[in-house]
Amino acid sequence: MHRSTVPAFILACLSITGCTSSSGPDGLMAGIPSKETTSSVTPSAPVPQASVGNMQAPLRAEPSQKVLAWGGPMPSGSPAFAAVDHQQGIPRAVPQINAAMAPQAGVVLPNEKPVQLAMAAAPAINAGPAVRSRIFRSNFSDAKPINFGKVTPRHYQVHGVDVSRWQGNIDWEGLRSRGANFAFIKATDGGDHLDPMFKTNWNRAKAAGVRRGAYHFFYWCRPASHQAEWFIRNVPRDPDALPPVIDVEYNGESSCKMRLPRAKVLEKMQVFMDMLERHYGKRPIIYTAPDFYKDHLSGELLDYPFWLRAVAQHPSKVYPDRKWLFWQYSGSGLSHGVEGKIDLNVFGGSEESWHRWVSRGNG
């Protein structure tokens, strides 16, 4: 397109830093990867390209919303905790660690409800008899191992990974046998980019018996409702899937340089999460990193489950005010089944609490 034929208002928009996504419609159709990244890993193999589907499919209509930021204490009788509160009589298992070290490390003790943040505000879709899948013990190694102190990732029983296009073609059966009991798979970012390996990873992970969920990298220069519609268009509503994830963090490589105030950040997140919860029937999980959490999320969204990045210390040291559901402890993991490096994670409870969580329709 020649410059002289571009309307003045479009040129004005393009001249403003962060006005558009790094993966616009032209780039999307050409297969150009988005600059939005969430992992510290770099590609170690050519990344296969894939179709992004039918761009002409109609968007799912959603009612207009006026959602205000909310950061107060959890209201009594919150539906988010309903799935846990009625199970007060069930003994609660915890990671197999020395009880003497738990207070210092911030590990959830039995009377603290280790999975109380793993909740669904809506009834499970197609709920049926629970089928327990085998839990494989972690056999991952790390290119940059960290001494986490007395409580390490090895003290947790259920390990998993998160992946995107950067891992190339994954041998999901091999990866599962090494300890990937769950996987969060990059699906979308912004309002126009689909990870080219999402559909392949989504289908192959399930075929290998890996519990998987999809995550969206949130782009602050696009309306939250547009991003939710894009995610819903591209991520199937599978009753066996883990809850959807909203990834909120700073990204220096993004063309969007906008830094919003806390109230606006929370408002946009709430719009996005409400739309996903209505569609999938599961309360979204919030993934974040230390700097973004400190600026925007500390003390907020108390009835949402959190997936926290902490690659140098235990989460209790980095996020002292937050209970967590998943912990991303490494961006330099190594494993059979994938070339190069991969992000490693643990579930914040025992194997028994994992089975209880997924059986309640949260996964």
Reference 194, options 57, 81, 315; nearest CA is 57
For residue 214, what are the β-bridge partners?
Answer: 185
How do 211-217 and 193-194 pair as beta strands?
unpaired
| Neighbour-count burial of 272, counting CB atoms closer than 10 A to its CB (0-12 exposed, 13-18 middle, 19+ buried) | buried
Q: Which residues of 61-76 are buried (b: 16+ CB within 10 A; e: fewer)?
A: eeeeeebebeeeeeee
Residue type, 21: S
What is the pairing mode between strands 245-248 and 342-347? unpaired
Question: Is residue 249 annotated as part of the catalytic site, yes or no?
Answer: yes
Q: Would you say how long the chain is, in residues?
A: 363
With beta carbons less than 8 A apart as the criterion, state whether 312 and 319 touch: no
**Active-site entry in 62, 173, 249, 339:** 249
Reading phi first (left if > 0) and then psi (alpha if -120 to 50, else beta), residue 313 is in: beta
Which residues are identified as catalytic? 249
